[in-house]
Structure 1
Amino acid sequence: MSDITFTWLYNQHKLHLRPIVEGPASFSTIQATELKDPTEFTARGAIVLTLGLAFESTPSEFFLYTQALAHAGVQGIGFGTGLTFSEVPPELITAVQAHGLALFEVPRATAFTSIINAVTTELTRIEHNQQFALHRQQERLNQAAAQGLDALIAQAGKELGAAVAIADSHGAAVSTYRPRRGGLDALPAAVDVATATVATTSGARTVKRKDGTSVATITNQLVTPHQQRFALAVNSETKFNSYSRALIRHLAGLTGVLLHHTDARTHRTLGALALATALDSSPAAPLAEAFGALSPDRSVQLLCLTSDSADRLHKALEHAERTGTEYFALALPGAAVLAFASDAPIEPRQLFGRATSHLRFALSEPLPWQELSADLLTRLTAYANAQPLGQWSVLNEEGPQWLHSTAVQDALTQRRTELLGALHDYDDIHHADLARTLRVYALADAHLGSAATELGVHRHTIRARVAKIEELCHIDLSDPVTRAEVVVLCVSAG
């Protein structure tokens, strides 16, 4: 339930309310009643509007009336004058001060319904805004979850303004990143729940610290299909409202989904580690065992996929993971390399779904895993970058090998800096996309329609960008020799 401040209420000048006694800062609802003891029908956090009809002849009973309201969680009293009482009774003022409630005068000209309508309208507005904010927060958590558990927990701490942690049944932190707030750390609470012998310890509680402040804690116990037990804990110095609780439930659901795939992700991670290690060091027994688990004859095929869009590349890899296909993966800047068993049928569209048409591919011949090298990945990535969108072919080693020599690469790097440096500077300052546009336009052989389709913009936009590129780089892209140079520079850079 949302709260409204008394300051807001008093600032509704058309109501002509006069504050008399300062009390709590806010309230959550408002109601009118003339019962002598309305506590059975009042809600916690409410303001009670009354004319004092039941106390016309016994104003001394205002003390017991106010005491009962305070015990029922009422925050304040709006007292109507001009009918039963010409002014706010001093007995009521004394009683309200004694019990810590707020008190304000409602003049006869102001109808109680006017106050109730104003409050109801404001509560509706606040509720709508909070619902919208919750929806946006859930969307941001969804986006973070796509990047993994650490990113999800980091974003959750930011959205909730709280300490967040996950622990397993051994009492160890699952996420390497755990947000802390105001000296709070949620890991101890997560460990308590995860290591508990009885699976009934999830819930919410508030604990008072030695300094007098309170800590609100919500814990959720999560059990995967493999009966692995985890616990999510959130600590905050402020009380969780219904929207915070809803967001925490959403967080627990996303966490459960990620933990559900722990085994598969561990397999992928170990595979990626094996692949990366193989590229940097000599063969070792653990690597042989890892590649043996992927391919009985320890021969593999590498599939390199590249994209100008990190989001499309990520979606493609997500789709591949959902197919259940066995592979090891290694992420590269703007690309990924997947190692499959040499006899595995590889069909990009089946692996990567609709993202296939936005990617470029290159496939190696089957080879022993011991022959994997950084040089092979460089050649494979360059070959993939030269392919048309959505198409793939086997790496052709009969291509221009001179591109891969150190001297040529150094010369190309220097020329690339000279020609394209201005574009990168312009993109950084103006958040433009000229460097990527040049690459796509050159690889599309100056075809405006093809470049526009790949970049998702209108052909007129491509035409305007090309004119700006020619101005900044002092080149003429209508010249096929110039375009050929750009193609070589872009492809060799990956």
Structure 2
Amino acid sequence: MPPTLAEVASLPQLGLRALTEMRADLPVRWVAVSELEDPTPFLEGGELVLTTGMRLTPGNAVPYVARLAGRGVSGLGFGVGVIHQVIPPELVDAARDQGLTLLEVPRPVPFIAIGKAVSRLLAAEWYEDDTRAFQAQRELTRAALRGPGPLVTRLARELDGWVLLLDPSGEVRHAAVAAEGPGRAAELARVRRRAAELVPDLARLAQESRTASITLSGKDDHVVAQGIGVSGHPRAFLAVGTAERLPRVAHTIVGSAVALLTLQSESPRTTRDLRSALAGVLLGLPPGGPAFPAAPVRVLACAGGAAVLDALGDDDRCLPVPLPDGAVAVIVPAGAAERVMALAHESGPVGASEPSGLDDLGQALHQARQALAAARRHRAALRYSDLPGQGLLGILDPALARGFAETLLAPLAADETLITSLRAYVAANGQGETAARALGVHRHTLRSRIQKAARLLGRDLDDPAVRAELWTALAVTASGTEPIGHPGH
């Protein structure tokens, strides 16, 4: 509510003094300074009018006050010491007779100071309204998560009145009253009976714009009704009733409730296509339609489970489904796969299939699972096409691979020179001359070391299969504590 005249008059810095009865409950909606004999054409009502009485005479004081009172101003402030040293008695008498509050403004107080003071009070009121609206919107949103019934109940409390949610025929879906205690049941029954009285007006509202609302005033309450929905005829109606007309902030709160109810009423429409497409798949029809992402698509296998579902939210480009092992598969348009992979990777490893058509999603899921198996070892996000780049090491079980490598190379563990020489020899594919140059030793020295390694290992190093095993074992041990197959190893 705007500040009252009593609040403004009580500000100590202004030093205002009431010369007639104070209408304490009158709101001051603005401050208007005017020296016109008739300023009413420029007023809306609710103003505190300030004047120095430049055109005031004993003869025009009565009609001057009558015009202001008839316009519905909150009060009249008269600045003394400029034109008149004291307020003319004719003006005081006229104000007293016509019930207009007359305030004396001391000479040192400029009119602009009064205007600024009222502006600050109005700004504080607007801020308070905005804060209340924000808090109410948050509470309504929290209630809406539990359904339209809790939202209607919360709205009735916020408005200190009653609320009805009605279907298009006027039948009550949900009803709530702010009243508590023994009289609550009777009030709720009265409100439900009130719904029948609203049906003709709701029918008229249904023929108007979807954004239209109607306001009705009865002997017991003031009612505002608005349609719910964004397409065609309203899918429901929201009616609220309060003892007094709704202030600005209350209209904002009602608007938030209408928006939330509209989202709830329209949400089944957003899933209708998906349910239809699912039915088609179950019937053996080709997948397609707006519910399916346009081919090509990728299938992602995500280890993050429920956290991935939370991260994806309501992105209708993604079709997620939980897998039996706790992972989540996501069908996503190929063009959006990189972004979704990065989002899902925040919750754990991710594997992605190659781009696929909608008729080959089973194979795509198989690829995604294979990629995820490799990605789990590195806590990475891998595409199926990345697996060949990981080489043989990328698909080995780390524990088994390290056990194999340590067992195979155990006879050489005490001689680092032999390990280094063998590594160079295997890397050169058994070419002694090339390996010797890489080590910076004579070829005869390298040959002697390789022969000794072969005896200790009990293996024929001229056999390509033996060299392959040794290459694997040496690569695994070179990884140390890092994941085997790590780039560079």
TM range (shorter): 0.5 to 0.7
Q: What is the Cα-based RMSD across aligned positions, in Å?
A: 4.5
Correspondence list, 1:225-236, <5 A: 225=231, 227=233, 229-236=235-242
1:79, distance to aligned residue in structure 2 (A): 1.6
Going from structure 1 to structure 2, the CA distance change for 1:77 and 1:338 (only over 3 Å counts) comes to: farther
Does the 8 Å contact 1:169/1:229 carry over to 2? yes
Does the 8 Å contact 2:162/2:175 carry over to 1? no
| Separation in 1, partners of 2:16, 2:282 | 80
| Separation in 1, partners of 2:273, 2:130 | 39
| Separation in 2, partners of 1:17, 1:260 | 56
Is there any run of 5+ residues in structure 1 with no aligned partner, and where? 272-290, 298-306, 328-336, 340-344, 360-389, 391-494
1:47, distance to aligned residue in structure 2 (A): 0.5
Task: Tell me if 1:347 matches 2:345.
Answer: no
Does the 8 Å contact 1:294/1:326 carry over to 2? no
1:160, distance to aligned residue in structure 2 (A): 2.3
| Separation in 1, partners of 2:96, 2:309 | 62
Task: Tell me if 1:53 matches 2:63.
Answer: no
Correspondence list, 1:47-446, <5 A: 47-58=48-59, 61-174=60-173, 176-181=174-179, 183=187, 185=191, 187-188=195-196, 191-196=199-204, 199-200=207-208, 202-205=212-215, 207-209=217-219, 215-225=221-231, 227=233, 229-262=235-268, 319=314, 347=329
Deviation per CA, 1:73-132: give whole Å up to 9, x if none. Answer: 211111222343333333323333343332221122222122112111222222223223
- The AA in structure 1 aligned to 2:217 is V
Going from structure 1 to structure 2, the CA distance change for 1:33 and 1:127 (only over 3 Å counts) comes to: same
- Paired position in structure 1 for 2:43: 42
What secondary structure does 2:226 align onto?
strand
Does the 8 Å contact 2:36/2:55 carry over to 1? yes
1:240, distance to aligned residue in structure 2 (A): 1.7
| Separation in 2, partners of 1:167, 1:313 | 38
| Separation in 2, partners of 1:189, 1:355 | 54
| Range with greater deviation from structure 2 (105-114 or 215-224) | 215-224
Deviation per CA, 1:268-312: give whole Å up to 9, x if none. Answer: 9xx9xxxxxxxxxxxxxxxxxxx9999669xxxxxxxxx9x9xx8
Does the 8 Å contact 2:133/2:249 carry over to 1? yes
Going from structure 1 to structure 2, the CA distance change for 1:160 and 1:358 (only over 3 Å counts) comes to: farther
- The AA in structure 2 aligned to 1:179 is V
1:205, distance to aligned residue in structure 2 (A): 3.0
Aligned sequence identity (%): 21
| Separation in 2, partners of 1:113, 1:197 | 46
What secondary structure does 1:14 align onto?
coil
Going from structure 1 to structure 2, the CA distance change for 1:326 and 1:124 (only over 3 Å counts) comes to: closer
Is there any run of 5+ residues in structure 2 with no aligned partner, and where? 285-303, 333-339, 349-378, 380-489
| Separation in 1, partners of 2:196, 2:309 | 34
Does the 8 Å contact 2:318/2:331 carry over to 1? no
Does the 8 Å contact 1:67/1:99 carry over to 2? yes
1:172, distance to aligned residue in structure 2 (A): 0.9
1:317, distance to aligned residue in structure 2 (A): 11
1:236, distance to aligned residue in structure 2 (A): 1.2
Does the 8 Å contact 2:205/2:227 carry over to 1? no
1:10, distance to aligned residue in structure 2 (A): 2.4
- The AA in structure 2 aligned to 1:203 is S
1:69, distance to aligned residue in structure 2 (A): 1.5
TM-score (norm 2): 0.52
| Range with greater deviation from structure 2 (197-206 or 64-73) | 197-206
| Aligned pairs, number | 310
1:207, distance to aligned residue in structure 2 (A): 1.9
- The AA in structure 2 aligned to 1:107 is P
| Separation in 1, partners of 2:199, 2:281 | 36
| Separation in 2, partners of 1:42, 1:36 | 13
| Separation in 2, partners of 1:208, 1:97 | 34
1:134, distance to aligned residue in structure 2 (A): 2.0
| Range with greater deviation from structure 2 (89-98 or 196-205) | 196-205
Deviation per CA, 1:203-242: give whole Å up to 9, x if none. Answer: 3435241xxx6x3222112345364542111111122222
Going from structure 1 to structure 2, the CA distance change for 1:313 and 1:19 (only over 3 Å counts) comes to: farther
- Paired position in structure 1 for 2:30: 29
- The AA in structure 2 aligned to 1:71 is G
Going from structure 1 to structure 2, the CA distance change for 1:131 and 1:348 (only over 3 Å counts) comes to: same
Going from structure 1 to structure 2, the CA distance change for 1:144 and 1:77 (only over 3 Å counts) comes to: same
| Separation in 1, partners of 2:164, 2:311 | 30
| Separation in 1, partners of 2:261, 2:164 | 11
